[in-house]
Amino acid sequence: MPTLTPALTFLWGCVLLFLLFFYLGTTDHRGKKLSGTILTVLMSIFCVWAFMGLGIKKGIDIGGGSSFTVQLKPGLDDKGAPKPITKNSLEQAIAILEKRLNPNGENDLLMTPQGEDRIHIEMPGVKEDDKDAVRKKIEEVAQLELRIVHPDSEREIEKIKTNGGVAIGYVEMPHKEIGKKDKGKVDSLLVKSRADLAGKHVSRAIAKLDPQEGWVIGLYLDSEGSKTFDEIAARHRGDRMAIVLDGVVISDPVLKSDHYGGYAQISGGANGFKQEEAIALATALENPLENPMVIIESSEGSAAFGAKTVEQAIYTGIVGTVLIALFMLIYYRLAGVVALCGVVVNLLMIFGAMALFKITLTMPGIAGIALTVGMGVDANVLIYERLREEMRAGKSLATGLATAFEKAFAAIFDVHVTTLITSLILFSLASGLVKGFAVTLIVGIFGTLFGALIVTRVVFGWFIDTHKLDNVKFAQFIPTGNYDVLKYAKPFIIGSFALAFVSLAGFVYKPNHGIGIDFRGGAKTQFAIAANEVVTPTDAETALKNAGLKTGTFYVQENTTATGRQISVRSELDDKDRVKSTLENAFVGKLTGGSTDTVGSVVGSELAQRSIIAFVVAMVAILIYLSFFYEFSFALGAIIALFHDCIIVVGLSVLMGQELSIIHIGAVLTVAGYSINDTIIVFDRIREMIKAKGGTGNIRDIMNEAISITLSRTLLTSLTALMPMVALYIFGGPSMKEFSLPILIGIIVGTYSSIYIASPLVLWYAKKTGKSLHRQVLDNAERAAAIKPTATA
């Protein structure tokens, strides 16, 4: 298979885009069917090509990787005095390293404070050729300064070297380029002893390609820096300005103007910058370190969750997928085969895009994939349940299918747009594992839409046009009828919110028993594995479990360093002595030199704050979207139900003996996705029925009828979502149980909250405020119709 080069990727992408726009734009049935078929085939080939040729990077939690232990050194304050290392220094360094090592959020990255002045960094497999670049990103302080060069620098330096003495107000600094260009020339410059402008005034730094200079770095200064720079330029027009980075002059351009408008440009001198060098330097300049740091140890580590856990996740994931496929085939029969075609293409697109864009696959990322597969199945269920209604009304398969796609499109569109809004906000504002979840979900959303709205429609088109399919038969497990669902809303609301209160009370009563070491920090115990001896992480885990340590309160990894192999255990601080003694007694002569140190939380305070802010902003965005396209009471009901679901999921998980860890982040985000999706489907049908009745009829009766009609879809989707999670919980190891339990709880709670929590809240709020829900919904529906796209025939 030929290598997928950037040029080939670009050309293939252009072809796919052309076919997509042709498919969306044409109204000719035959042309749509042919272009859709070619698009599906080429898209599948391209994604398989990308996946097979490039592969997917595994995160450190499932594939292991490289780790670095760095030590911070005291920095200098504005007066040049040593600045002590504090907890804030460690937090600042972690935040900066996150931006340097993972600027686009595509890499899995874990950083934990260790001791008083060290940070432990874990990255997915760093190749040997890339380690120097990683070291540079970590150790480069990126202290930028602009200093005016002495007007007669070279001659003055020669004079000082010959006769001695000093140049008052100036200091000699090495130059990156001069010595390389002219061997006989002085390889330094005389620059002002105090910086004319400090790098702290750089608000933004970007790498870009200049036609004359090649790759350069554009610096955008803040208001104070802009003003100062123009004042300097006005006084020293025609003089050279030294660009000093970490005490080395990297270029010394002439100031040709007295007004730069807050923008300066750094070139790479005679040899210029390489693209990678320019991008790395721009990132470093935008994120300078307050404290220098050095790497004191590097190693290769095993998967954080262990190879056995990863294998169990793969096998149980396959079992869950097979269960979903069997259910779709039994319930929807031949239409189930068509739906599975869309799901398969969806998965191909997800893995192909992850390989193409170098997105790292992590446990939260797997949660994102599970959510998108669930959304894909949900979209097909929505279409098929609509098709069932149309066929029951006496329409032909072709006409009923077109109507089903058209009516289901509004709900599918709203579900995916709200999920996309949430994902984009999480990606923009959050970091670390939350960003990894968001990236995977963004990719999956487009795959789901393509699979459900294009692939399934094209396959159906071929079956119908060749008369291989003139009718479809579906199973009917859930009887149809008009139920007084809202009659049971009050006891559900009282019981559910009481459960949420108990969940919160559990945290207040025993806060330390609910928060795991990923959030609280703990201890790290390390042993060297003796030569010619074998001790695996699984062996160590078994010994610790036999000693009474609970799953989820410790993590075992195997590391390979320059001095040999190691076993490291991250555990509760109170358990460090038990961990050390247990492993020493269990592996006498095999493990040596046990040492223990304190480590900070994997989820640092800044990561936690940014994740919470991102989640809140996402909820506000959904509130605005639903208020605009539905009505404020719908938006309020959806958000309250979502928070209710998340609180119960977290609370019940803790009450059932779990401690919150990184793995729960992905689980809670997945539950939030399921919750809002379920609620929007119900709300869409309520809105549709209000429009169909022209704003007349009792709103409570309309809601009951809408919920009754969507009940089949709600229960079917929940059932298909539960299948892989049940498989994970039954057949998976302890880590998989820790992951699947909160999602199992969330699916069950989310299913009934969309019926018995969100909808009754809408009705209650409308009555409380005295607003006409009919009128509000109709007005917003007219506004939405003018903006939203529609399903094409």
CA separation, residue 15 to residues 2, 12, 565, 577 (Å) = 18, 5, 50, 62
Pairing of strands 214-221, 263-266: antiparallel
SS (H, E, C) 684-704: HHHHHHHHHCCCCCCHHHHHH
Predicted pLDDT at 38: 94
Band (pLDDT 50/70/90 cuts) for residue 256 is confident
HSE (CB half, 13 Å, CA atoms) of 423?
A: 25
Residue with tokens 């795991």: 516
Give residue 368's pLDDT band: very low, low, confident or very high (50, 70, 90). Answer: confident
What is the rounded distance in angstroms from the CA atom of residue 713 to the CA atom of residue 710?
Answer: 5
* pLDDT tens per residue, range 739-768: 788 888 888 888 888 888 888 888 888 777
The set of residues, in sequence order, having a beta carbon less than 8 Å from that of 20 and lying 6+ positions away, is 39
Question: What pLDDT is recorded for position 775?
Answer: 64
Give Cα 721 distance to the centre of its chain.
21
Within 8 A by CB and 6+ apart from 175, the residues are: 187, 188, 189, 248, 249, 252
Q: What is the pLDDT of residue 44?
A: 93
Using DSSP, state whether 525 is helix, strand or coil: strand
Residue, of 320 and 618, whose pLDDT is higher: 618
Higher pLDDT, 736 or 705: 705
| pLDDT reported for residue 780 | 59
Integer Cα distance of 650 and 750 in angstroms: 13
Q: What Å distances lie between residue 751 and 361, 478, 646, 682, CA to CA?
A: 28, 15, 13, 11
585 exposed, middle or buried (CB, 10 Å; 0-12, 13-18, 19+)? Answer: exposed
User: pLDDT at position 319, please?
Assistant: 76
Q: What is the mean pLDDT of residues 376-389?
A: 85
Q: Going by DSSP bridges, is the β-strand pair 214-221/202-210 parallel, antiparallel, or unpaired? A: antiparallel
Render 381-425 in DSSP notation, one character per residue: HHHHHHHHHHHHTT--HHHHHHHHHHHHHHHHHHHHHHHHHHHHH
How far apart, in whole angstroms, are the C-alpha atoms of residue 42 and residue 62? 31
pLDDT tier for residue 793 given thresholds of 50, 70 and 90: very low
The per-residue pLDDT for 184 is 44
Of 179 and 411, which is predicted with more confidence? 411
* CA gap 239, 230 in Å, rounded: 14
According to the model, what pLDDT value does residue 182 have? 47
Which of 230-239, 416-425, 512-521 shows the lowest mean pLDDT across its residues? Answer: 512-521
**Which of 201-205, 268-272, 355-359, 581-585: highest mean pLDDT?**
581-585
Report the alpha-carbon distance of residue 39 to residue 482 in Å, rounded.
42
Please write the tens of the pLDDT for every residue from 7-41. Answer: 888 898 899 999 999 998 888 888 889 999 999 99
d(CA 121, CA 98): 10
Q: HEC profile for 449-481?
A: HHHHHHHHHHHHHHHHHCCCCCCCCCCCCCCCC
How confident is the model at residue 713, as a pLDDT? 80
SS3 call for 210: strand
SS3 at position 75: strand
pLDDT at 313 over 70: no
Query: Is the per-residue pLDDT at 397 higher than 60?
Result: yes
Residue 236, phi then psi, degrees to nearest 5: -120, 30
Lowest-pLDDT range, 116-130, 482-496, 621-635? 116-130
Query: pTM score, two decimals?
Result: 0.67
Residue 746: both structure tokens together:
């969330």
Q: How far apart are alpha carbons 499 and 548 in whole angstroms?
A: 31
- CA 572/CA 579 separation, integer angstroms: 9
pLDDT in tens, 158-181: 888 888 777 888 888 888 764 444
How much is the CA Rg of the chain, to the nearest whole Å?
31
681-706 CB burial, b ≥16 within 10 A, e <16: bbbbbbbbbbeeeeeeeebeebbbbb
